[in-house]
């Protein structure tokens, strides 16, 4: 087989890149090691920045999101038994976020790919990348028992943190930066109508908690826990008791209880690799960087990456210039490090530490008070949360 751009991974980054390229007349093939069912049902957070929503709409992928997504103009910070609203839209000139599950975004993109007869190989095995330093790289894989060699001009590694793409780059070329946090999130889905219209981030002496939602009938909730937490020690009743304790406040709001349909523990880490390109291989999304979930930046960074990469490929194929491709890594890393810092800031501020002195936790509380009372501090939080505008 022959294509212009081989894309490894059918997550949000890889699928969106294929659509953006198609709209510019650039051919691509997507190779994914997991099944379609796995990709469409892998539950991940779905807080979409304004720029992500705009990009999906521009790509013709936003119809169901516009109908089923939940538009939010602010968030609530809960501490010292009081709710403090950050009005993001008024602080950012009308920008907002949309709550729409990552798996729903993936379903929309796979359905669109099928409508356009896009080449998508699910359940590929023995996937390997070759000659990435040459002008004729290859992707080799097995699909339905048949071995394939995919010749291409470029490879986009969109296969996540544990994928093969980053490992194909010589180890002495990459620099990695990592922080592993001393806590994790125990997350649940509950069949209960959300009791608030916006997300609630709670800082409590017992630990952080987050109120979110998946639909008008499903609530998503998280609890700060140990990284080695055992789920079998958390009965449904214990989870609800802990949630209600951490969300306790003087204004009468609490999440609605309901049957818990899913629970899991999410570890928290920050990770960045530099550079995000080597030879004819370009990394995007989780293959190049990981953020803790507190700042809701994971999928949004992936969208930002492939937006830059698609424009770089368009410049290469339509104008004959490789300047944007050469600058891809440095361009993306500016936004990546800003998002890493914001995620670190939100995580550090909202999670009480049980391994440090009371002094440190008082600093966290002071930061919360400042953010909720200062127009300048609230504006900085809002600007980063809704997503910085793209530099076109």
**Residue numbers annotated as active site:** 72, 201, 293, 297, 385
Instruction: Kindly state the tokens that stand for 317.
Output: 């194929």
Q: How far apart are CA 7 and CA 377, in angstroms?
A: 40
Q: Which of 225, 220, 265 is nearest to 102 (CA)?
A: 220
- Do 268 and 347 meet the contact criterion of CB atoms below 8 Å apart? yes
Strands (E), 160-300: 175-191, 200-202, 209-215, 218-225, 259-274, 277-278, 281-283, 289-290
Strand pairing report for 74-79 and 200-202: parallel
State how far the Cα of 41 lies from the Cα of 35, in Å rounded to an integer.
Answer: 10
Query: How far is Cα 306 from Cα 288, in angstroms, rounded to an integer?
Result: 12
DSSP string, 327-363: THHHHHHHHHHHHHHHHHHHHHHHS--SSS-HHHHHH
Considering only the C-alpha atoms of the chain, give the largest distance between any 2 of them, rounded to a whole number of Å.
Answer: 65
Q: Which of 126, 153, 125 is nearest to 138 (CA)?
A: 153
Strands 138-143 and 175-191: unpaired
Asked whether 192 and 218 are in contact (CB, 8 A), the reply is: yes
Contact 291, 340 (CB under 8 A): yes
φ, ψ of residue 214 to 5 degrees: the values are: -115, -30
Contacts of 136 (CB under 8 A, 6+ apart): 151
The region, left, alpha or beta by phi > 0 then psi within -120 to 50, assigned to residue 249 is: beta
Give DSSP secondary structure letters for 364-392. Answer: HHHHHHHHHH-HHHHHHHHHHHH-PPP--
Q: Which residues of 335-344 are buried (b: 16+ CB within 10 A; e: fewer)?
A: bbeebbebbb
Exposed, middle or buried by CB within 10 Å (0-12, 13-18, 19+), for 147?
Answer: exposed
């Amino acid at each position: 087989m022959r294509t212009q751009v081989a894309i490894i991974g059918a997550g949000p980054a890889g699928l969106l890149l294929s659509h953006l390229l198609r709209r510019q007349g650039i051919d691509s093939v997507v190779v994914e090691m997991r099944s379609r069912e796995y990709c469409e049902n892998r539950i991940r957070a779905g807080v979409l920045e304004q720029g992500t929503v705009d990009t999906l709409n521009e790509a013709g992928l936003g119809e169901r999101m516009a109908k089923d997504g939940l538009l939010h103009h602010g968030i609530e910070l809960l501490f010292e038994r009081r709710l403090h609203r950050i009005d993001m839209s008024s602080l950012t000139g009308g920008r907002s976020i949309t709550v729409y599950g990552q798996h729903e975004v993936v379903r929309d993109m796979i359905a669109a790919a099928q409508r356009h007869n896009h080449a998508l190989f699910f359940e590929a095995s023995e996937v390997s990348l070759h000659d990435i330093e040459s002008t004729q790289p290859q992707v080799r894989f097995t699909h339905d028992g048949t071995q394939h060699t995919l010749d291409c001009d470029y490879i986009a590694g969109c296969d996540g943190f544990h994928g093969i793409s980053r490992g194909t780059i010589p180890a002495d070329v990459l620099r990695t930066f990592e922080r592993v946090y001393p806590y994790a999130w125990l997350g649940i889905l509950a069949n209960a109508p959300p009791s608030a219209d916006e997300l609630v981030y709670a800082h409590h002496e017992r630990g952080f908690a987050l109120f979110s939602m998946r639909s008008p009938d499903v609530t998503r909730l998280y609890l700060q826990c140990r990284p080695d937490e055992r789920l079998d020690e958390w009965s449904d009743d214990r989870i609800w008791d802990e949630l209600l304790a951490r969300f306790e406040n003087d204004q009468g709001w609490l999440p609605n209880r309901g049957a818990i349909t899913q629970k899991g523990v999410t570890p928290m880490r920050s990770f960045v690799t530099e550079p995000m390109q080597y030879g004819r291989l370009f990394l995007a999304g989780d293959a190049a960087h990981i953020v803790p979930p507190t700042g809701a930046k994971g999928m949004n960074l992936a969208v930002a990456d492939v937006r830059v990469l698609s424009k770089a490929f368009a410049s290469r194929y339509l104008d004959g210039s490789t300047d944007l491709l050469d600058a891809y890594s440095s361009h993306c890393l500016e936004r990546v490090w800003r998002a890493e810092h914001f995620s670190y800031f939100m995580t550090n501020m909202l999670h009480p530490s049980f391994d440090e002195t009371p002094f440190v936790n008082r600093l966290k509380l002071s930061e919360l008070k400042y953010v909720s009372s200062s127009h300048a501090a609230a504006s900085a939080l809002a600007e980063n949360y809704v997503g910085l505008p793209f530099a076109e």
